[in-house]
Chain A
Amino acid sequence: MRAKRKQRLIFVTIVLLGFSAATALGVYAIQKNKTYFHTPAEFAAGSVPQDQLIRVGGLVVEGSVNRFDDGVTTEFDLTDTAGTVTVRYKGLLPDLFREGQGIVAQGKLNNQGTIVAQEVLAKHDENYMPPEVAEALKASGASHPENIPKNNY
C-alpha cells in the first residue's frame, strides 16, 4: 500500500511537470511571435507588414490630434518615445481618448505609412487616485499622472 501511494505520487508529479514544461515551451513560442499590439518603434524599424490587419499601441502625442471637417474622422500620432506612427480613424472614440493617453488601434498600414484604423480602444493603466491627488502630483511636477505607467509602450 505504501509503495503504491509513492508510485502514484511520482506519477502525478511527472504528469504535472510534463504539462508545465510543454506549456512553458508554448508560452515561450507564442511570446516570440505573437503580440496583441505592435509598438511605434517597430513601425520605425519597418518590421510591421503592410495591408494586414494589425494593432498598434502607444501614447497619443500632445497636439497631434486633428479632427477632419466631416466631423467623424480623426487623425493622431502614437508614440512610445522610440518611434511615432500616424493613425486615421473614422468613428466614435472612447471616452478616455485624450492627448497623452495610452491607445490601442486596430487597422491596416497603407503605403503612406499611416494606419487606417477600424477600431480604437483606450488602454487604462493600473493607477487609481482621487482627482485631488492627481492634481497635487501634477503640481509638484514629479510626473504627469498619466505618464506613470511603467509598462512597455
Chain B
Amino acid sequence: MWAWFHKLSSPKYYYEWAGKWLPWLAGITVILMVVGLYWGLVVAPTDYQQGESYRIIYIHVPSAWMSMFVYVVMAVAGFVALVWKTKISEIVVSECAVIGAMFTALALITGMLWGKPTWGTYWTWDARLTSELILLFLYFGVIALYSSIEDKRVAAKAASMLAVVGVVNIPIIHFSVTWWNSLHQPNMDIISENPSMDPSMLWPLLVMATAFKIYFVWLLFIRIRNEIISRERTTNWVRKLIAES
C-alpha cells in the first residue's frame, strides 16, 4: 500500500497511471450527467411550494457539496506537500484550487438565481452565504499565491500553508445554518428513514452528486497531467514523450 503511494508520487508513473483512467472517467461522467439531468429536470415532480424553480437544486447542491469536498482534498494534499514535499501533492493543491473555485462560483451563482424568486433577494449577508463567499476568496488566495511566486516549489509551499489553515472554514460553512439563525434553509436530512426530500426528487440529486464527484476526478487528472508536463518539460522522459507524439 505505502509502496504504491510512493510509486504514485513519481510524476512519470503518475502521468501514465492517470492517463489510463481518463476515458473511463469521461464516460462515467457523461452518462451520469445525462441521466441525472434528465431525471431531475424532466422526470422528477414539481415541488409543492416552489413549483419548478426548485430544480436548480440539481446543480446548486452538488456544486456546493463539491466546493467543500474539493477544499478538503486540497487541504490534505497541502498537508502532505508541506510534510513530505512530494511534487504530485504540490500539483494537486494548485489544480484543486482552480476546480474548487469553479464549483464555489457555480454554487453561489445558482444560489443567487434561486434566491431572487424564492427569498426575494439575490444576496443577503447571512452566515451560510458569507462563509461560502469566504471559501471562494480562500480559493482565489491559493491560486494567487501559487501563481505569484516564480519558483514553483516555493510557490507550492506558500499556497499549501494557506490551503491547510483555511480548512477551518469548512465546518463553519457546514454548521453555519445550525449555529446561527440564517435565511438559508438548514442542511437536508438525506440519510435517515424520513429524508427531508421526497425519494422521487432525492434520487436524481444523488445521481448528480455522484456525476459531479467523478467529473472532479476527471478534471483533476487532466489538469495534473498538464501541470506535470509543464513542470517536467526539461526532463528526458517528457522530451521523449513530446518527440514521440
Using a CB–CB cutoff of 8 Å, the interface residues on chain A facing chain B are: 5, 8-9, 12, 15-16, 19-20, 23, 27, 30-31, 34-37, 39, 57, 93-96, 104, 119-135, 145-146, 148-149, 151-152
Besides A34-B180, A124-B49, A124-B118, 10 more A-B contacts (Cβ < 8 Å) are: A5-B83, A16-B165, A20-B168, A23-B168, A37-B183, A120-B120, A129-B48, A130-B48, A131-B48, A135-B48
A96 cross-chain contacts in B, Cβ below 8 A? 49-50, 118-119
A145 and B124 contact, CB distance less than 8 A: no
A selection of 27 A-B contacts at a CB cut-off of 8 Å is A5-B84, A8-B83, A12-B164, A15-B164, A16-B79, A20-B168, A27-B172, A35-B181, A36-B126, A36-B181, A37-B183, A93-B120, A94-B117, A96-B49, A119-B120, A121-B124, A124-B185, A128-B50, A128-B197, A129-B201, A130-B47, A130-B48, A133-B198, A145-B49, A148-B196, A149-B185, A152-B181
**8 shortest A-B CB distances, which residue pairs?**
A94-B120, A130-B45, A134-B48, A129-B198, A23-B168, A131-B48, A128-B197, A19-B165
B180 and A128 contact, CB distance less than 8 A: no
| Cα–Cα distance between A151 and B188 once the two chains are bound (Å) | 12
Q: Is B33 an interface residue (CB 8 A)?
A: no
| Cα–Cα distance between A126 and B200 once the two chains are bound (Å) | 15
Q: Is B54 an interface residue (CB 8 A)?
A: yes
CB distance from A36 to the nearest CB of B (A): 5
Q: Is B135 an interface residue (CB 8 A)?
A: no
B72 cross-chain contacts in A, Cβ below 8 A? none
Q: Is B9 an interface residue (CB 8 A)?
A: no
| Cα–Cα distance between A36 and B129 once the two chains are bound (Å) | 11
Using a CB–CB cutoff of 8 Å, the interface residues on chain B facing chain A are: 45-50, 54, 57, 79, 82-84, 117-121, 124-127, 161, 164-165, 167-169, 172, 177, 179-183, 185-189, 196-198, 200-201
A130 and B161 contact, CB distance less than 8 A: no
- By DSSP majority rule, is chain A's interface helix, strand, loop, or mixed? mixed
CB distance from B142 to the nearest CB of A (A): 15
| Cα–Cα distance between A96 and B188 once the two chains are bound (Å) | 20
- Find the residue from B57, B167, B168 having the highest chain A CB count within 10 A: B168
B84 cross-chain contacts in A, Cβ below 8 A? 5
| Cα–Cα distance between A127 and B185 once the two chains are bound (Å) | 9
Q: Which residue of B lies closest to A16 (CB)?
A: B164
B201 cross-chain contacts in A, Cβ below 8 A? 128-130
A19 cross-chain contacts in B, Cβ below 8 A? 165, 168
| Cα–Cα distance between A137 and B46 once the two chains are bound (Å) | 16
B48 and A145 contact, CB distance less than 8 A: yes
A126 and B185 contact, CB distance less than 8 A: yes
